[in-house]
Amino acid sequence: MSRTRASNGQSLLFQLPNEILAQSLGALPTSSLLPLTVTCTRIHDLIIRILHQRLLLAASLRDHKLILECYHPAAQYTEPYLFCEYLGTPGLSSTNEGEGLVYESGNHGSRLGKLAGLYSQFRPLRTEEGRRIPRQHPAGGGMPVWTAPGHVPAEEKEANELVERRVSLDPEESFSQLRVQTNLVKPGPRAGLFENLVSVSDGLVRIWREWLKERAANGQNVASREGDGEDQSEGKAMRTLWMDHKTDIGLIVRIKEKKWRRAAPVLLHRDEEPAVTYSMEYEELLVRTTHLLLAVEESSKQDQNEERGKAMVFGAFVNRSSA
């Protein structure tokens, strides 16, 4: 008889209580736990509960902060980064006792898919703390003094609590571009210093003229329906700007067209689009919760490497023996 099986033919591993199994499985990283979910129903349920608890801790970002950098490529060295406030994760219960959307109306196999479909909600904040640390331009010299594309004057920001940027399109332009970066950071001893940084997303997204026009036209209707207490999911889905084809990172925005007073009418060709400027307010940042979990684990791995004394040194060295 095999040593790994009891007299009844059952593996000794499955005779252990759930507490010991959960503690043993909890020592494994998420990437190692996922392949084990197909072992059996009992192991699957234990892993789901472990992942549930990890997602709760990762989404709350107790020891970390999420920063958003969203700017026109021409404003890379002038646009500040923004700290994000955690709002919640719909469908993820605050307890680990089998409650929440993940455990409702579904078999065991669908629970893992529901966990992967959760999004954590954040709100970008306009604070003095969230300012980009000045860095030298590659071409040399000081910081440029010209106004960056999308810059909103400080006196106009005071009238709005949401972060706002402007998107301007000339008559010959059919789209504008935004560089969107989200990073998970661990704050250091002083403001502006981070003990470590893990990239969550980095991409370039195009904002088309027609997309802006449609969202600005539908903005008032959607706002009125939401104000009447109707379902807000439809309106938010329409206003979500996804940063990648996998829909891992999304930005819910409010689009408003800026009306300018002109002293004289502007003559345009029949097929020519006028120059327009839109106000884009950042209402919420959506991040797939599993991405946050992997970023938090990567940050913990960096902390462990630092404790072991590992370091990276950059510099130029001269071989004295050959000098």
Q: Which residue has the higher pLDDT, 291 or 270?
A: 291
Residue 253 CA to residue 212 CA, distance in Å, equals 10
One-letter identity of residue 102: V
pLDDT score for 147: 44
Per-residue pLDDT at 95 exceeds 60 = no
pLDDT tens digits along 282-312: 999 999 999 999 999 998 888 777 655 555 4
pLDDT score for 268: 60
pLDDT score for 132: 46
pLDDT score for 40: 85
CB 137 within 8 A of CB 182: no
pLDDT tens digits along 20-78: 888 889 889 998 888 888 888 888 888 888 888 888 888 888 889 999 999 999 888 88
Rounded percentage of the chain residues whose pLDDT exceeds 70: 66
Sequence length of the chain is 323
Per-residue pLDDT at 99 exceeds 60 = no
Per-residue pLDDT at 5 exceeds 50 = yes
Closest by CA to 207, choosing from 149, 265, 261, is 149
Mean of pLDDT values over 313-317: 48
CB atoms closer than 10 angstroms to residue 146: 8
pLDDT tens digits along 128-186: 544 444 444 454 444 443 444 455 554 444 445 789 989 999 888 899 999 999 999 98
CB 157 within 8 A of CB 91: no
pLDDT tens digits along 213-265: 999 988 755 555 555 544 567 778 888 999 888 899 999 999 998 876 665 56
How are beta strands 119-124 and 276-288 bridged, if at all?
antiparallel
Per-residue pLDDT at 123 exceeds 50 = yes
pLDDT score for 307: 58
pLDDT score for 188: 83
Whole-Å CA distances, 139 to 10, 136, 179: 69, 8, 20
- Please give the model's pTM, rounded to 2 decimal places: 0.73
Q: Which two tokens stand for residue 320?
A: 């004295």
- Residues facing 280 on adjacent strands: 165, 255
One-letter identity of residue 74: A
Based on the number of CB atoms within 10 Å of its own CB, is 320 exposed (0-12), middle (13-18) or buried (19 or more)? exposed
CB 83 within 8 A of CB 129: yes
